[in-house]
Amino acid sequence: MPIFQLGELFCGPGGLSYGAMTADIGDQNCRIVHAWATDYDRDSCQTYAHNICRGKPGSVILKDVRELDLTTLGPIDALAFGFPCNDYSVVGERKGEAGEYGPLYTYGVKALKLFRPQWFLAENVGGLKSANEGKTFEKILRELEEAGYTITPHLYKFEEYGVPQTRHRIIIVGIRKDLGLKFRVPSPGGYKVRTCRQALEEPPIPEGAPNNERTRQSPVVVRRLEHIRPGENAFTADLPEELKLHVSGAKISQIYKRLDPDKPAYTVTGSGGGGTHIYHWAESRALTNRERARLQTFPDDYVFLGGKESVRRQVGMAVPCDGARVIFEAILRTFAREEYPWIPENITE
């Protein structure tokens, strides 16, 4: 069986790649190794190089993909690209393909045509499916298929796969048509729901863990949080008048929302202002970046480089490592022609 050399566009801090590198089906001759990665964010590239390929820092290219000459990159057997999702997010304005980041998926298509990898994995937010009345998503699927791949798109609910966070993402896996293989969505059966309390306390975060500095909370925020119970937010809690938020048209339910310790966390995002840090269920404070990284299933020795706000952004934009690993292991089993429990894809073309 092959050892797949993985190239990655829009690599971020390495959540997808860590899931790929740690995917294990019990056969060292069927695994995934790093070839190259690229991103336009300096801190993300440094985090990726430090954790994923410390011995090959030159294989992480800091460049905007729109200015990158793909022909300068080495050959690969597999491609991953979590193309930027800002314009497809339900929270954002949903400009879709017309937005600044919308067309960036086309660079993944270009890489597929240039390198002809045996398989690819593309990732985006669930809102992609309905952007531009679904036309953008249909176009993306069509172009990926026309590049020569049998595709399996699926909306994964990562909390069903043991990730301690409600995080829904569209993952499209494609296998080159001439290989005659079809990827099946791995079944979530057998995975236990993991609560945010379990994620943060079992085991406790070690003393001196990196990226674990606490955010200083203003007295008014502390007072507000004291009136918010687990699972409530600033709009559903019974707050005194002086602590209420008077924001017209506010719909985001995560503002000053405390975690419910007996459920998976709500979605970790890259933002951090205006009460969106994610708040502890018992203590009147925002989570640390290390705690947020735990919800994203990064190991405690995974060091994020850059300032606190940059790290918050990196953690929030990443793909949960454990969720990615489940999918990559299913890809490896597909190529090893091993049976594994699967479910029908929930997105049909």
What is the CB neighbour count within 10 angstroms for residue 237? Answer: 18
What is the amino acid identity at position 47? T
Give the whole-angstrom CA distance, residue 247 versus residue 18. 40
Give the whole-angstrom CA distance, residue 324 versus residue 44. 18
Judge contact between 165 and 173, C-beta under 8 A: no
Nearest to 81 by CA among 120, 45, 46, 50: 120
Give the whole-angstrom CA distance, residue 32 versus residue 116. 17
The pair phi, psi for residue 172, each rounded to 5°, is -110, 120
Judge contact between 332 and 31, C-beta under 8 A: yes
The pair phi, psi for residue 106, each rounded to 5°, is -65, -25
- Could you identify the residue written with the tokens 């947020």? 292
- Is 85 annotated in the active site? yes
The pair phi, psi for residue 235, each rounded to 5°, is -100, -20
What's the Cα-to-Cα distance from 214 to each of 35, 232, 250, rounded to whole Å?
A: 36, 22, 27
Q: Which member of 53, 85, 196, 321 is catalytic? A: 85
Judge contact between 135 and 125, C-beta under 8 A: no
The pair phi, psi for residue 50, each rounded to 5°, is -70, -35
Q: How many residues does the chain have?
A: 349
Burial (0-12, 13-18, 19+ Cβ within 10 Å), 288: buried
Give the whole-angstrom CA distance, residue 256 versus residue 278. 7
Question: Which are the catalytic amino acids?
Answer: 85
